[in-house]
Structure 1
């Protein structure tokens, strides 16, 4: 069994009833919190309560670990779940001790998040719960697409630049780009032919200032002053002040996953709010997808 069985045979339950579960990183934490019985969760990652972790408001009272193999072995888990984001040395050590491990992979798309949800659901014996969650997500995405289609009958698609306080942004092919597209927003960097994660300089911003800026990770970053120097620059502040700005909570897309639908809904709600009453009347479909 072990990891090989999971890769060769697909999503196979780690045990008949795994009830001593540990997750190794904040992306994996989300799946454990969403699907596992609470009293079956031994510990979450050290980042589980961070502002960018989806489970931060759902993990009160659950222990956290430091990611070391020793700390996890002391917990005596029967199932460990991770996304490959960190603690890979611990993963190798735990595997040598015969502990069942599920690698859901680091997601860069909603589709990957969907597959990971089903994989974890199968491993936990929570297939029904996972399928129910997936049906709910699909319904919400369908409602979102109806809203976007209604908007596009009366309004031009906005173009926006995604921006973090350190100047990190994205072009085509990332989950941020996918979320923007699902919300009916064109990615300014993708339009310029940029692929993947990138950084934007002040000169580029000044040469082509965005009409709309989608920001995230601006909260809870005290103490990281060097990395966050970009957002404190007077020119960057002036450009962002002049642009239409939409803030997406970091925990809605701190990594790719099933919860990206929340970021889609946040962006659509911001469009409806900012683009006027007529758009709200046209686009807001009460109860769609429920």
Structure 2
């Protein structure tokens, strides 16, 4: 229901986006960066956020390599003379107010919680940037098929400190589309799952955000526990870099392909 409401709101907002495409776009948000890189002409991009080139969090770090960045202050944004500034739903509230008070067009992009919401956001953003056809193409790419081959392979998306993304999270939905059955004893978006519970339930594979985990800090120490090392050698760990699932866009498709390939290998 929430997805339908968000889709309707974004579609309604899109009805008023028939004006000229923006010529100088400034993104002050990591997820907005990736949508801009996927949907806008490079000549439209005046600057991206300070995280745009960080491969640890951005699925589009390479594409952003030669584009200007900003530290996110109102002064920097004003100096760039943008005709559109993109922000996340709650970040840089003061900066957004200052820019809007100066007459700049400021758009806050919501954070989707499902693939349907992600597709609606992509279409809305593409219309805002003046390229609705690109948004439609990417939204259709996010309409991922559900893999079925008759064999049940259970998977637990497991993160630092024992957090497990739930079946209704983006990662959980991507895993289901790739053909995995969710093994977490949690519903909704997710929750913490103890090491003892993982050992007792013994899902077929773990879906992790990083490979070869070490005990560099307490958050990562759980993933390096000897019990998990014994039960889940590398061939039972599906590594999906966190950068692919943090933000809506092509990263979601890449994450799905990784899981789909892993699932097919396990089935064989």
Using the size of structure 2 for normalisation, the TM-score is 0.84
Question: Do the aligned partners of 1:109 and 1:257 also contact (CA within 8 Å) in 2?
Answer: no
1:233 and 2:225 equivalent? yes
What is residue 164 of structure 1 aligned with on the other side? 159
1:183 and 2:178 equivalent? yes
1:56 and 2:56 equivalent? no
Counterparts of residues 148-227 of structure 1 (less than 5 Å)? 148-149=147-148, 151-152=149-150, 156-189=151-184, 192-218=185-211, 225-227=217-219
SS at match of 2:103: coil
Q: Flag the 1:234–1:184 CA change in 2: closer, same or farther, 3 A.
A: same
Q: Displacement, 1:178? A: 1.0
What is residue 284 of structure 1 aligned with on the other side? none
SS at match of 2:32: helix
In the alignment, structure 2 segments of 5+ residues that lack a partner are: 1-8
What is residue 253 of structure 2 aligned with on the other side? 261
- Structure 1: distance between partners of 2:10 and 2:72: 24
Q: Displacement, 1:100? A: 0.8
Question: Do the aligned partners of 1:165 and 1:217 also contact (CA within 8 Å) in 2?
Answer: no
What is residue 246 of structure 1 aligned with on the other side? 238
Answer 1 or 2: higher relative contact order, Cα 8 Å, separation at least 6.
1
Provide the aligned C-alpha RMSD in A: 2.8
Q: Displacement, 1:222? A: 10
Q: Flag the 1:7–1:70 CA change in 2: closer, same or farther, 3 A.
A: farther
- Structure 1: distance between partners of 2:237 and 2:218: 24
Q: Flag the 1:131–1:229 CA change in 2: closer, same or farther, 3 A.
A: same
Counterparts of residues 15-164 of structure 1 (less than 5 Å)? 16-50=20-54, 51-84=56-89, 86-138=91-143, 141=144, 144-145=145-146, 148-149=147-148, 151-152=149-150, 156-164=151-159
Q: Flag the 1:242–1:31 CA change in 2: closer, same or farther, 3 A.
A: closer
Q: Flag the 1:202–1:8 CA change in 2: closer, same or farther, 3 A.
A: closer
Q: Displacement, 1:33? A: 0.2
Q: Flag the 1:206–1:272 CA change in 2: closer, same or farther, 3 A.
A: closer
Q: Displacement, 1:193? A: 4.2
SS at match of 1:213: strand
Q: Flag the 1:193–1:222 CA change in 2: closer, same or farther, 3 A.
A: closer
- Structure 2: distance between partners of 1:40 and 1:224: 41
How many residue pairs get aligned? The number is 258
Q: Displacement, 1:86? A: 2.7
Q: Displacement, 1:32? A: 0.2
